[in-house]
Amino acid sequence: MIKIVVLSGPMDGFEFRTDKSEITLGKDSQHIVALPLDPQVSQNHARITREGDEYWVEDTGSSNGTFVENQRVESKVVLPPETIFKMGRTALKLKAIQSPEDDTVVCKCGVKNSVFDKWCKNCGRELLSSG
Ligand SMILES: [Zn+2]
């Protein structure tokens, strides 16, 4: 399982989780990573594929390009976890989730909860994923 976290831009704070080996990104709501709020993202913008333990990103004909560490993606390039990539005004990062413990949300009361929980198991407060 991986998650793709939005770090900045109009959809700052959004997260997308998937265990699929092909992840499409774009403005269209059919994409696993759908970014409808960024006007500079194309309908079909980019694709990430998993090959073994590696992730690769390619631009799928976007108007404004896909960038990995500020380098425009001309063909398929490797996308290591924790590397920042950009589409339009949106900066994103891919994170591998090895186990549920890697992916916890700490409540304001200090108790760790699973990201799959919506409410704190200790105090019942609504959890906001910190990424
Ligand atoms: Zn709590």
Question: pLDDT per residue over 84-101, tens digit each?
Answer: 999 999 999 999 887 766
Give the Å distance between the CA of 118 and the centre of ligand 1.
Answer: 11
Give the total residue count for the chain: 131
Give the Å distance between the CA of 102 and the centre of ligand 1.
Answer: 19
pLDDT value, residue 101: 63
Burial 54-71 (b: 16+ CB within 10 A, else e): ebebbbeebebbbbbeee
Give the Å distance between the CA of 95 and the centre of ligand 1.
Answer: 25
pTM for the model: 0.77
Give the Å distance between the CA of 93 and the centre of ligand 1.
Answer: 27
Query: Which residue positions in the chain have pLDDT lower than 50?
Result: 130-131
pLDDT value, residue 129: 57
pLDDT value, residue 64: 97
